[in-house]
Amino acid sequence: MIEKIEITQRFNFKRLNRHYECFTIDLLNKNAYYKISERGSGDKFLSESSLCDDSWIDILVDLRRKMTSEIHRLNDKQIDKFRHDFDNLKLFDGFESEKFSYFEKIELIYSCNVIIYSTDNYEEYSFKNNFPKNWIEFGEILKDLFGFDVLHLNHQMKMATPLYFDIRKDGVYFDDKLNIKSIEFGHYKTYPYELPNPRLIVNFSDDSINGYIEKELTLNDKGLILSLLEKYHVYMWIFDEYHNKSNARDPDDLEGYDWYLEMVFENDVIWHIFGYNDYPDTYVHLGREIIEITKMDLLEIDTIAEGDLELFEKFGKMKLTN
């Protein structure tokens, strides 16, 4: 019989704006609560350049606002119904966990860890992209029980993950393929520490490129950028199958560079990835073609150690030739 469930969720937005929370449902003691001691918000750089998309700010503010010290009391009838509904849901039947740790070399916009304590058992499940098939239904059960959106399904509708969206090599789909509004890239030293300011901002809405390059975004530019994103499978970078180099070997320089890439689509849907001195498999291949086109190292691949470059060459080629 289930005695307690802990749901730890992590949200990562650009420029080190983060939110961690752990919601505990304690059926033995008939209550539920946030573990406030585990609140983690990272550095708070909430001010945003007028050139950058700021869709993430309202989400982050709402996440922090809803994490309170309130104790939610449960009666026997509610507990019996929850246990019945949860058992029938078979949430984790046949589920395969993804890797989860409190330090990831490549971070995504969302990750979750669920621990289930039973009378004679302990189970732990983790995921970033491989959501349990009935996760949305579980969220509705929790919302009915507690009166608020514990799993933040409303915000998940604004995050480009496989929960609501289909992520393909050529783009992000809901019913149809979503149009890109903006792309933002940042790359900065970890020591001596630099603030994570954007290095390149491509705005499809007002036809502008700012940062390393300052120019009007032409139709040819748009076509070229979209073709590069597809050619090097950039939309797929959030999946573990594109982290072979990162999983195989730590970078030579652990105090090198951090980076982030954010794409915002129509309806303010956010695709985001953040790296601690490591990159997806096809990053270097993309960087080399950008150098050929612009004569500029916009992705700063010259900061990557030679031994790491050899592995990126190997794993990137494997992805691009499959």
**Where among 137, 156, 175 does a domain terminate?**
156
Are 196 and 306 contained in the same domain? yes
User: Tokens standing for 86?
Assistant: 């949860």
Domain that holds residue 16: 2-156
Does 161 fall in a domain? no
| Over residues 176-196, mean pLDDT | 84
Task: Identify whether residues 73 and 124 lie together within a single domain.
Answer: yes
Residues 6 and 150 in one domain: yes
Q: Determine how many CB atoms are found less than 10 A away from the CB of residue 241.
A: 12
Q: What is the pTM of this model?
A: 0.92
pLDDT in tens, 92-117: 999 989 876 667 789 999 999 999 99
Largest CA distance in the chain: 68
In this prediction, what percent of the chain has a pLDDT beyond 90? Answer: 72
* Residue 131 main-chain phi, psi, to 5 deg: -65, 145
**Domain tally, the chain:** 2
Residue 37 has pLDDT above 70, yes or no: no
